[in-house]
Amino acid sequence: MKSKRDLIRVLKTTDGQITIDATGRKNGRGAYLCPSMDCFKKAVKGKGLERSFKMAIPKEVYESLEKEMEQLDQ
């Protein structure tokens, strides 16, 4: 278990968009990932985000999240 401050919040907004919430304070349903590409890839493979948000996530959204994760990882 890690504290929320050590994790990255992935956010589903009220209009259905999925993005990374860098502040951790935006409105919407959130899911947390550890800040590593391995953790992100496990979440994609195990469909963890789809379970958290109770919806199918398009491939394009995963690709944009992966780019954002790479920028945060640097």
The pLDDT of residue 1 is above 70: yes
pLDDT in tens, 12-67: 999 999 988 988 899 999 999 988 889 999 999 999 999 999 999 999 989 988 99
Query: pTM of the prediction?
Result: 0.82
Contact 6, 35 (CB under 8 A): yes
Structure-block tokens of residue 45: 């493979």
**Mean predicted confidence (pLDDT) in 2-20:** 90
Domains identified in the chain and CATH numbers: 4-73 (3.30.1230.10)
| Cα–Cα distance for residue pair 74/71, rounded to 1 Å | 6
